[in-house]
Structure 1
């Protein structure tokens, strides 16, 4: 089974599928996997999110890391674990959610916006730090945060990441980026989802070469 570090090493893009419907989960997950995505997040404010997580985990769970976003309570964490999810992503820093995530043996990626929140999350046991909202900052802020945060706890920039700025965030020191509307919207054809994901991966690779 692939680890989160192996998954992000293969492709440091997290696909956020907000609004995913369970009946489309298998086809969309496979399209994302085929273009290179190895981490997929289903926000819990999607329709029947646990069914979608279960479908994705059943089809891709050994080759990709499937998880949930917008996880706000310890009850949510347990439900994600029961559905086969391995990654818990939140928009905020809540030590109760982090504690339960680690107790369940899952990967913790809480949201933060300030250095104080970042260190609170790390003290509670967070594995990665979700910098949110990304569209409210300049990429150079990632570099400033990296200078004071432990080097083994990567920043995942979330919100507002697209073709025009993805390379800048990686150049500033982001471990990964999480991308939602640039890849997925409810009702979007599967082939377009795959094509847009592939374009973002190409932009990341081009930035790494330059």
Structure 2
């Protein structure tokens, strides 16, 4: 991974860990939707490989991707796809499952594996294989209580993003239970949705994230003052 992309990824995961999942997007749509997302403040863009001509879409946006934005592929199931992503300077490698072979291939090619998991066994296996972040999926069906129960055994410092059924209305609940960020699918983009509408939704999601982050920072500052 190029140093500029590495810095952009680290910054995004720390400050704005919101992933736009563009499942079903076509190369004809990608430019307009990508521009709308970037203008709204999204820094992490995923093109699932089961989308029509997904590699064409990834190639198109990777060529003109701003320095502070990171793109890549989702629904990655084949370790061989890691090399192709590295060639395209598209370092996000996102999976729906925890496959050590895919993770190790991603690490070997300097990518950032964001690995789907549902159970503690899957999460710990992904961490051991070198995952950059974990993707709790399907989050809404599992619920915040489930995440609270397993959070204690997850590796400290490894970001966990909630994906699946996440929308503006439930971000606060998940954030309060300690998730590091979110992935947004059909609530943000679905095939045929105009780029302007995607941009409007994206702006609302970014604004909600900023609000939650500011509330958390204020609470931390209050605790520090109370302990002083």
TM-score interval, smaller chain: over 0.9
* Equivalent residue, structure 2, for 1:73: 78
* Equivalent residue, structure 2, for 1:179: 184
| Contact 1:50–1:80 under 8 Å retained in 2 | no
| Contact 2:16–2:209 under 8 Å retained in 1 | no
Q: 2:14 aligns with which of 6, 9, 14?
A: 9
Cα shift at 1:179: 0.3
Distance in 1 between residues matched to 2:36 and 2:145, nearest whole Å: 33
Deviations 1:1-34 (A, max 9, x none): 2431202333221000001111222221111111
| Contact 1:50–1:83 under 8 Å retained in 2 | no
Aligned length in residues: 210
| Contact 1:39–1:64 under 8 Å retained in 2 | yes
Distance in 1 between residues matched to 2:73 and 2:208, nearest whole Å: 26
Cα shift at 1:66: 0.3
Q: 2:105 aligns with which of 93, 100, 107?
A: 100
Q: Which of 99-108 and 7-16 deviates more?
A: 7-16
Cα shift at 1:141: 2.6
Deviations 1:160-208 (A, max 9, x none): 0012211111111111110011110111111100000111122223334
1:156 alignment partner, SS class = strand
Distance in 2 between residues matched to 1:60 and 1:92, nearest whole Å: 27
Alignment of 1:73-92 (within 5 A): 73-92=78-97
Larger Cα Rg: Structure 1 or Structure 2?
2
Q: Does 1:169 align with 2:208?
A: no
Distance in 2 between residues matched to 1:3 and 1:140, nearest whole Å: 32
Q: Does 1:25 align with 2:35?
A: no
Distance in 2 between residues matched to 1:166 and 1:109, nearest whole Å: 20
| Contact 2:25–2:51 under 8 Å retained in 1 | yes
Cα shift at 1:61: 4.9
| Contact 1:50–1:79 under 8 Å retained in 2 | no
Q: Does 1:118 align with 2:131?
A: no
Deviations 1:61-82 (A, max 9, x none): 5220101100001122222223
* Equivalent residue, structure 2, for 1:150: 155
1:164 alignment partner, SS class = helix
Cα shift at 1:144: 2.9
Question: What residue ranges of structure 2 are gaps of 5+ in the alignment?
Answer: 217-228
Deviations 1:29-60 (A, max 9, x none): 11111111000000000011111111111111
Question: What residue ranges of structure 1 are gaps of 5+ in the alignment?
Answer: none
1:88 alignment partner, SS class = strand
